C-alpha cells in the first residue's frame, strides 16, 4: 500500500531531485532545445512545494491535481501543460483515495500518460517524455502481473524508464523544439524523457526508503 504521506514525500523529494538536476537537464536541452527545461522544472516543483501545505491532509487525488495546477501555472513552455496534464489526470484517476493499491498505482500512471498524449499529440518514439513513461507503465503492469511486490515492481518500472530514456539518444525528434534541428537531434538524450525518468525514479526511491525504515 502506498499512502497519502508517501505521495507527499515523493513530491517533496522530486523538488529536491529536480533542483539538483536543473543544470543537467538544461545542459541536455541546449543542443536540441532552448536550454530552459531544468530551470522550468525546478521553478515548477518549487511552486508545488509552496502549494502542498494547504492539501497535505486531503486525498491523493486532490494532492496530485493541486500539483498539476501548480505546474501548469508556473512551468510554462510545453513542460507546463504536459506535466500539468500528467498530474491532473493522474489525480482524477485516484480521486478520493487515501491509499493506493497496486492497481491504483497502475491506473494513476496510465491516466497521467494518457493526459500527456492527449495534449501533446505525442506518439512513442517521437523522442519525448512518453518514451520514458510508456515503457515504465508497461513494466509496472507486467511486474504486478508476475506477482512482484510494490517495491520490486517500482524498481522494474524505474529500470524500464531508464532504458526508455537512454533509447531516446539515437532517435530523430518529431515533436517539440528538438524536431526543428532535424538530423542533429540524433545522438542527444531527450531532456523531457530524462525529467520523467527522474520523477519516476524518485517515486521508487521514496517508497523504498520509507518501507525500509518502517
Partner 1 sequence: MKKLINKPEDVVKEELEGIALAHPDLVKVHFNPNFIYRADAPVKGKVAIVSGGGSGHEPMHGGFVGPGMLDAACPGQIFTSPTPDQMLAATKMVDGGAGVLYIVKNYSGDIMNFHMAADMAREEGIRVLSVLIDDDVAVKDSLYTSGRRGVGTTVLAEKICGAAAEKGYDLKSLADLCRKIEVNGRSMGMALTPCTVPAVGRPTFELGEDEMEIGIGIHGEPGRERMKLKTADEITEMLALSIIEDPPYRRIVREFDEKKGDWVEFELESPPFKPGDRVLAFVNSMGGTPDIELYIVYRKLHEICEKKGLKIVRNLIGRYITSLEMQGCSITLLRMDDEMIELWDAPVRTAALRWGM
Q: Which residues bind partner 1 (CB under 8 A)?
A: 26, 30-31, 33-36, 39-40, 43, 72-82, 119-120, 172-177, 179-182, 184
Compute the Cα dihedral for 79, 81, 83, 86 and give only its sign: negative
* Nearer to partner 1 among residue 21 and residue 158 (C-beta): 21
Q: Give CA–CA dist 205/209, Å, rounded.
A: 6
Q: How far is the CB of 14 from partner 1 (least distance, A)?
A: 20
DSSP-based three-state secondary structure for 99: strand
* Nearer to partner 1 among residue 30 and residue 101 (C-beta): 30
Q: How far is the CB of 25 from partner 1 (least distance, A)?
A: 12
Residues 6+ apart with CB under 8 A from 88: 64, 65, 68, 69, 72, 115
Q: How far is the CB of 43 from partner 1 (least distance, A)?
A: 8
**In the block, residue with C-alpha cell 538530423:** 183
Cell of 213: 525504515
* Nearer to partner 1 among residue 24 and residue 31 (C-beta): 31
Burial state string for 43-78 with b = 16 or more CB within 10 A and e = fewer than 16: bbbebbbebbeebeeebbbbbbbbbbbbbbebbebb
* Nearer to partner 1 among residue 23 and residue 209 (C-beta): 23
Q: Give CA–CA dist 54/72, Å, rounded.
A: 18
Q: How far is the CB of 168 from partner 1 (least distance, A)?
A: 15
* Nearer to partner 1 among residue 72 and residue 111 (C-beta): 72
Q: How far is the CB of 65 from partner 1 (least distance, A)?
A: 14
* Nearer to partner 1 among residue 73 and residue 209 (C-beta): 73
Q: How far is the CB of 39 from partner 1 (least distance, A)?
A: 5
Amino acid at each position: 500500500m502506498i499512502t497519502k504521506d508517501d505521495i507527499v514525500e515523493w513530491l517533496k523529494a522530486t523538488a529536491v531531485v529536480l533542483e539538483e538536476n536543473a543544470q543537467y537537464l538544461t545542459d541536455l536541452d541546449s543542443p536540441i532545445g532552448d536550454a530552459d527545461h531544468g530551470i522550468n522544472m525546478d521553478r515548477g516543483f518549487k511552486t508545488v512545494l509552496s502549494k502542498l501545505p494547504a492539501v497535505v491532509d486531503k486525498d491523493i487525488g486532490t494532492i496530485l491535481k493541486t500539483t498539476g495546477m501548480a505546474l501548469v501555472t508556473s512551468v510554462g513552455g510545453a513542460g507546463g501543460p504536459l506535466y500539468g496534464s500528467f498530474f491532473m489526470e493522474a489525480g482524477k484517476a485516484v480521486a478520493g483515495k487515501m491509499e493506493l493499491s497496486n492497481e491504483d498505482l497502475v491506473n494513476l500512471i496510465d491516466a497521467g500518460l494518457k493526459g500527456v498524449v492527449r495534449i501533446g499529440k505525442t506518439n512513442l518514439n517521437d523522442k519525448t517524455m512518453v518514451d520514458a513513461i510508456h515503457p515504465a507503465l508497461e513494466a509496472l503492469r507486467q511486474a504486478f502481473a508476475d506477482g512482484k511486490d510494490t517495491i520490486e515492481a517500482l524498481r522494474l518500472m524505474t529500470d524500464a524508464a531508464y532504458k526508455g530514456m537512454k533509447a531516446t539518444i539515437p532517435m530523430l525528434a518529431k515533436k517539440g523544439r528538438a524536431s526543428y534541428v532535424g538530423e542533429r537531434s540524433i545522438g542527444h538524450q531527450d531532456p523531457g524523457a530524462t525529467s520523467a525518468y527522474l520523477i519516476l525514479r524518485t517515486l521508487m526511491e521514496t517508497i523504498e526508503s520509507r518501507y525500509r525504515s518502517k
